[in-house]
A and B are shown apart, each in its own frame.
Chain A
Amino acid sequence: MKIIVCIKQVPDTTDIKWTENNTIQREGVESIINPYDVYAIEEALKLKKTVENVEITVLTMGPLQAVEMLKKAIAVGCDNAVLITDKKFAGADTYATGKTIATTIKNKLPDYDLILCGQFAVDGDTAQTGPSIANQLEIPQVTYAKELKKCDGTCIYAVREIEEGSETVKVEFPALICVLKGFEEPTRPKINGIIKAQNTEITTYTMEDIGLTPEETGLKGSPTYVSRAFRPEHNRGKCEICTDCNILAEKIKEFGGISNE
């Protein structure tokens, strides 16, 4: 069974600072594997333990530096890594990104059973790229999956966490599943994994390699574009800072708290 895990390199958003000109300071911000994608890798590794002959290919679209992130995925147990990288991809929205990844899979990795993605990326938070890839590959999708089970190599059961409760569905391969974050500690790389990562060659494809044109990728291939970016403003009055807990307790009372007298 062949699994492709789509991952994204994201800035560590807990670490973002503003410059004096109200722009985001990008220098020195560390990059991490999107935390939801870490669990997509985890699900793939779990399947490798329970299903025979599982081969995991980890795939990303991003700058050359993303090689480091792909090596980390190899170190924890993924088998192959593919990087799609090209300056022409800059400014891609979820449609163009979905198209670029789907085209790569169609043309370079057509022999797959299951594609796993994280439900969200913490930088964009759109949750759209996974379904967009599935649609362009014309395969079924399952989103908001919190648990995968009973995989026999031709189908899998997924438990979806939705507003009203949990829904179990069975999906036939080939399929794409977007997973939520689990609570278990992610797999840590072992020494032989790190050695393997150092010796694994990362396959790299450019826009031409996958057979797309500049009109179909990046900002040009994106239906949406940012017309204005700005720092959020709030119109609440000035915050009254108090230094005495008694006064704070009075405020809580005044604002409608402490109703159980």
Chain B
Amino acid sequence: MSNIMLYAEVTKENYLHTVVFELAYKAQELAKKLDNASVSALLICKTGLAENFKEAFINSGFDFVYIAESNRLTHYSTELYSKIAVDIIREVKPDIILVGATTQGRDLAPRISSSLHTGLTADCIGLDINEKGQLAATRPTFGGKLMATILCKTLPQMATVRPKVFKPAPENIVKDTKFIYIKPEIDNIQKKVEFIEFVKGLNTAINELDSAEIIVAGGKGMKNEAGFELLKNFAQCIGGCVAASRGAVDMGLAPSDIQIGQTGKTVTPKLYIACGISGAIQHIVGMQDSDKIIAINNDEKAPIFDVSDCGFVGDVFEVIPELIRIIKNSNGDAASDINIS
């Protein structure tokens, strides 16, 4: 019988990362197609922490949880974590390993796959089992202009998936989970990378975008800093948050922590307004599940219109100030206090 293993990532603040539950639900679906394969989790953490997560594992459909605890594992360490993961994987021999495409997952997974001489498909947006029982992992490639379904000749078949690409189970899937403690063999490892300090991010944009109901995103078409100021005014006017495409981030118009897309965040607001964004699939995979999408772009052939519910072909520097004026008027505000330069 085949089995599927997930990497149970622990965040800096000692929670299980939400992506673990998203992958857990996806793994249930894949397991059914594999003649009820077992689903296991691999948890590497500081001593005693695993106890906190047991209920969550039991309620998320895991058959087994392999736990390696040590006081040397308080902070994520590529060297120690990859050693432990590889040791356990060699023992358990899963056929499929799924890892969240977080900074930790993307640091760890290639180290594991390289040690096991197997393949790893990064940033998948679709996972399925094909007629031969192989993991068929679909990801955008070529700058996001093309989708590719990738298969792996060797075992285990590994894939990383960004947070929020899949949905967690709508209700508990309770299993008689077995917790298996494994003593990590790391006493002889002299770490070459030493943790010095961690400074919690002051920028709250990351969390704001996760829960935002309205997002106003700007692309290269916003041209300059004044363009992003205009977006901020617009967002404020409709009660939204500002985000950016990679094009805009690459131009230095916006910080990378508000970037939406394959190499940025995935968001699912009620309303997403794309301003001056052409709509490379690289961007689209990060926002296509929004309830409603509006696009404003001066190129009527821009692919963003193909994924939008409503579009306006025109110059963002004319359309947005006009929208602000109309909306402010309908709200009974004086238009004069808006900076629409």
On A, residues with C-beta under 8 Å from B are 11, 13-14, 16, 18, 24, 35, 93-95, 98, 120, 122-132, 134-136, 139-144, 157, 160-172, 175, 180-181, 183, 222-232, 234, 236-237, 239-243, 245-246, 248-249, 251-252, 255-261
Any chain A CB within 8 A of the CB of B179?
A: no
CB distance A164 to B294 under 8 Å? no
Task: List the B side residues contacting A123 at CB < 8 Å.
Answer: 141-143
Smallest CB–CB gap between A101 and chain B, Å?
12
- For the complex, what is the distance from the CA of A171 to the CA of B122, rounded to whole Å? 26
The closest CB in chain B to the CB of A229 belongs to B148
> Which B residues are CB-close (under 8 A) to A228?
148-149
Partner of A225 from the list B151, B201, B291 (CB cut-off 8 Å) is B151
On whether the beta carbons of A132 and B110 are closer than 8 Å, the reply is: yes
Name B147's contact: one of A125, A157, A232 (CB within 8 Å): A232
Question: 14 additional contacts, CB 8 Å, given A248-B296, A248-B323, A255-B270?
Answer: A11-B142, A24-B146, A93-B119, A98-B110, A128-B122, A130-B110, A141-B111, A162-B103, A170-B193, A181-B256, A223-B154, A234-B288, A242-B312, A245-B326
Inter-subunit contact A259/B115 (CB<8 Å): no
A255 cross-chain contacts in B, Cβ below 8 A:
270-271, 291-292, 294, 309-310
Give min CB distance, A53 to chain B, whole Å: 23
**For chain B, what secondary structure do more than half of its interface residues adopt (helix, strand, loop), or is it mixed?**
mixed
Asked if A135 and B110 sit within 8 Å, CB to CB, the answer is yes
Asked if A170 contacts B196 (CB within 8 A), the reply is yes
CA distance A31 to B240 in the complex (A): 38
**Set of chain A residues within 8 Å of B271, measured between Cβ atoms:** 252, 255-257
Residue among A129, A139, A225 making CB contact with B153, cutoff 8 Å: A225
Contact residues of B between 73 and 124, Cβ < 8 Å to A: 78-79, 82, 102-104, 106-107, 109-111, 113-115, 117-123
Is the beta-carbon distance between A222 and B199 smaller than 8 angstroms? Answer: no
Nearest-neighbour CB distance to chain B for A211, whole angstroms, equals: 18
The answer to whether B195 touches A169 (Cβ under 8 A) is yes
Interface range on chain B (Cβ under 8 Å from partner): 35 or more
Contact B292 A246 (CB under 8 A): no
Name which residue of chain B comes closest to A35, CB basis: B250
Verify A225–B306 contact, CB threshold 8 A: no
Q: 6 nearest interchain CB pairs?
A: A13-B143, A223-B119, A224-B119, A165-B201, A131-B110, A126-B122
Q: How far is the CA of A202 from the CA of B107 in the complex (A)?
A: 32
Please tell me if B171 contacts chain A, counting CB pairs below 8 Å.
no
- Dominant SS among interface residues on chain A: mixed
The answer to whether A242 touches B310 (Cβ under 8 A) is yes
- The residue that A223 contacts in the complex, of B118, B300, B308, B319, with Cβ under 8 A, is B118
- Interfacial chain B residues near A136, Cβ < 8 Å: 114
Contacting pair A229 B13 (CB below 8 A): no
Asked if B30 CB lies within 8 Å of chain A CBs, one says no
> How many Å from the CB of B179 to the closest CB on chain A?
27
Q: Name B250's closest neighbour in chain A (CB-CB).
A: A35
A24 CA / B281 CA spacing, docked (Å)? 14
Which residues B263-291 have CB closer than 8 A to chain A? 263, 270-271, 273, 280-282, 284, 288, 291
- Docked Cα-Cα span, A136 to B112, in Å, equals 11
Bound complex: CA of A61 vs CA of B273, how far in Å? 41
Q: Chain B residues with Cβ under 8 A from A139's Cβ? A: 192
Q: Which residue of B lies closest to A164 (CB)?
A: B12
Complex CA distance for A180 and B255, rounded to whole angstroms: 13
Between A and B, 22 residue pairs with Cβ closer than 8 Å are: A13-B142, A123-B143, A132-B110, A141-B78, A160-B103, A164-B200, A166-B198, A167-B199, A168-B196, A169-B193, A169-B194, A223-B118, A224-B120, A224-B121, A227-B151, A228-B149, A239-B311, A248-B310, A255-B292, A255-B309, A256-B213, A257-B214
Supposing A134-B111, A227-B149 touch, asked if A164 and B193 sit within 8 A by C-beta, the answer is no
A108 to chain B, nearest CB (A): 20
Using CB atoms, name the residue of chain B closest to A234: B307
Pick the most buried of A128, A232, A256: most chain B CB atoms within 10 A of its CB: A232
The answer to whether B192 and A231 touch across the interface, beta carbons within 8 angstroms, is no
Q: B147-189, CB under 8 A of A: which get 1 and which 0?
A: 1111111100000000000000000000000000000000000
Q: Give the chain A neighbours of B106 by CB distance below 8 A.
A: 127-128, 143
Q: Determine the chain B residues whose CB is within 8 A of the CB of A222 once the complex forms.
A: 119
CB distance from A253 to the nearest CB of B (A): 8
